[in-house]
Amino acid sequence: MSATNSLNAEDLGSAAQRDRRKRILDATIDLASKGGFDAVQMRAVADQADVALGTLYRYFPSKIHLLVSALGREFERTEAARRDVEIPGDTASERVINVLKGTTRGLQSSPHLTEALTRAFMFADASVQAEIHQVGMLLSTMLTRAMHPGQSEPTDDDVAITRIIGDVWLAALVGWVTGRMTAAETGAQIERAVHLILRD
């Protein structure tokens, strides 16, 4: 469906179309960075991206799709930046914590953006499955690499553990975004969970 309803990065499209898509995502990130979820208004995005409202909806069928796609792009960027640097830490849990804290710190440095993206993620329904799955895979990849640097096949337990940690991380993020936890508390909560699960 994404192939017919929206223009994603891989779909060829003309150069002009790829450029429009980029402008739209740039505008989304910019507005989200400044004012969060509420500031990402479809008319404002369209204006700033220099695109008609109808065109915006042709590229992204809803505000949620738009934000989740933007999240995917940002996440991919930061993952790519870390991909080739070795993760510090002597034990698996140290490395996992380092990865999560690094990512979390990145998110917390632009609270509005994080709020917008987390909200979108949480509000998404089945029609955003594809975009969300992509983000989930990126996170698994990062965590798996932290648990077994330079290794190939994670065990079933590894996969399950990765998933649990991802869940805790998401819950902590939601807690932070919705003002129920401070940044410090989210960090402590994640660290605690990783130690309990990886036991060391």
Partner DNA sequence: TCCATGATAGGAACACGTTCCAGTTCGTCC
Partner DNA sequence: GGACGAACTGGAACGTGTTCCTATCATGGA
Chain contacts with a copy of itself (rule: CB under 8 A): 119, 122-126, 128-129, 132-133, 157, 160-161, 163-164, 166-168, 170-172, 174, 178-180, 189, 192-193, 196-197
> Among residues 52, 81, 188, 196, which is the contact residue for DNA, using CB under 7 A?
52
Closest to DNA by CB, 132 vs 197, is 132
- In sign, the C-alpha dihedral spanning 85, 90, 96, 98 is negative
For a copy of itself, the closer CB: 44 or 171: 171
Shortest CB 58 distance to DNA, Å: 5
Could you tell which of DNA, a copy of itself, none binds residue 86, using a CB distance below 5 to 8 A set by kind? Answer: none
- For residue 80, the partner it binds in DNA, a copy of itself, none, with Cβ less than 5 to 8 A by kind, is none
The one segment of 9-17, 113-121, 146-154, 187-195 that binds DNA by CB under 7 A: 9-17
Q: Quick one: what does residue 62 bind among a copy of itself, DNA, none, with the CB cut-off 5 to 8 Å set by partner type?
A: DNA
Check residue 51 for interaction with DNA (CB under 7 A).
yes
User: Can residue 119 be called a binding residue for DNA (CB under 7 A)?
Assistant: no
Q: Is 57 in the site for DNA (CB under 7 A)?
A: yes
DSSP string for residues in the chain: -HHHHS--SSS---HHHHHHHHHHHHHHHHHHHHHHHHH--HHHHHHHHT--HHHHHHH-SSHHHHHHHHHHHHHHHHHHHHHTSPPP-SSHHHHHHHHHHHHHHHHHTSHHHHHHHHHHHHH--GGGHHHHHHHHHHHHHHHHHHHSTT-----HHHHHHHHHHHHHHHHHHHHHHTTSS-HHHHHHHHHHHHHHHHT-
Q: Which is nearer to DNA, 29 or 165 (CB)?
A: 29
